[in-house]
Copies of this chain bind each other. A is one copy, B any other.
Amino acid sequence: MARYCIGVDLGGTYIKFGLLSEDMKPSGTFQLPTPKGGAGPVIAGMVKGARKLMADHKLTKADVVGVGVGAPGPMNIKEGIIIAMPNIPGIENCPMGRLVGRKLGIPAVLENDANAAGYGEYVAGAGKDRGDMVLLTLGTGIGGGIVVDGKVVHGAHDIGAEIGHLIVEPGGEPCGCGQRGCIEAYASASNLARYAISRFERAKLLPTALRQIHERKKKIGKELDMGDVNAARKAGDALAAEVWDRGAYYLALACVSISRLLDPNLIVLVGGMTKAGDDLIRPVTEHYRRLHWILTAPKTKIVLGKLGNDAGMVGAAGVAWAAFGGK
């Protein structure tokens, strides 16, 4: 009889659901809008989604080994408690995994969403059967997940793997976290786009297509993003090329430091900027090789994630397999 774990990934807009089989194959993914009104409605929404998933696939409780809930926000992993959730008001000191599990009558476990995404790529994505892995999520911020010897590294106070706050420029740009010079301040998609804007706004005569693109997007309530920058770079825009390369350089710098500390097999990049595919991996790898020590050849590979937005859900289910699968 096939057995499954259920993965639930709680986001500010949607909750994503899916199954993960014992051989780490995801299936049945769907999403529901995140209910408003705090912990009660959100938990009810998770239970509803999980029941729908089981009904759709004709699963009984006996078929489901466990439920993994991935969620943002500071949490106490050992106790399974969400401390706070900046994006979803009304959820504080909430043992969310346990509450969902109790309502379903299935064992449940809570995991940080970035760690879950890392573990998802590890068990079923780019990192499958590839050994120690570090994930970098390149979006508004930079998040991270670390898997060593098959286990998610949480840190002693559950604030490990905050790779976006590795300091790459001491005394550099202020970061939202209160530090200066974090990699997030230099290489997150939104901060890189902001850097591009600051460049052409400070130099009114600098010829760049980015200025027009930005002005055009502003009229429809949007902003220049790194997709625009990569497109302009490909069309030959010099500022766009410089900004894109700056991002690749800082990411590579972080990857070198990550390699010196953790020496993973893989560094997996996911998130908005990775839509550029090889346009991102190539310059990051080039800078990485250049910045890398000469004591050994570069051994850590920098690759794209494979699961897209499903990584967190898959990883949450993977964490449930690790917790309740009896392996």
- Give the B-binding residues of A (Cβ under 8 A): 74, 131-132, 144, 146, 148-149, 151, 153-163, 165-170, 175, 177-180, 253, 256-265, 291-296, 299-300
Q: Are B265 and A74 in contact (CB under 8 A)?
A: no
Q: Are B170 and A253 in contact (CB under 8 A)?
A: yes
Q: Are A160 and B292 in contact (CB under 8 A)?
A: no
- Residue ID in chain B nearest A263 by CB atoms: B155
Q: Are A169 and B170 in contact (CB under 8 A)?
A: yes
Question: Contact partner of A264 among B155, B256, B300, CB < 8 A?
Answer: B155
Question: Contact partner of A263 among B156, B179, B295, CB < 8 A?
Answer: B156
Known A149-B151, A253-B170, A296-B74; judge A156-B261 contact (CB<8 A). Answer: no
Measured between C-beta atoms, what is the minimum distance from A56 to chain B in Å?
37
Q: Are B179 and A262 in contact (CB under 8 A)?
A: no
Known A167-B256, A177-B293, A178-B294; judge A159-B299 contact (CB<8 A). Answer: yes
Q: Are B296 and A155 in contact (CB under 8 A)?
A: no
Known A159-B263, A177-B294; judge A166-B257 contact (CB<8 A). Answer: yes
A-B contact pairs, 21 of them (CB 8 A): A132-B155, A149-B151, A154-B263, A155-B263, A156-B263, A156-B264, A156-B299, A157-B300, A158-B263, A159-B299, A160-B260, A162-B260, A162-B261, A166-B261, A167-B257, A167-B260, A177-B295, A178-B293, A178-B295, A179-B256, A258-B261
Measured between C-beta atoms, what is the minimum distance from A84 to chain B in Å?
11
Question: Contact partner of A148 among B148, B162, B294, CB < 8 A?
Answer: B148
Q: Are B163 and A261 in contact (CB under 8 A)?
A: yes
> Looking at A163, A175, A291, which has the most chain B CB atoms within 10 Å of its CB?
A291
> Looking at A168, A177, A178, A263, which has the most chain B CB atoms within 10 Å of its CB?
A263
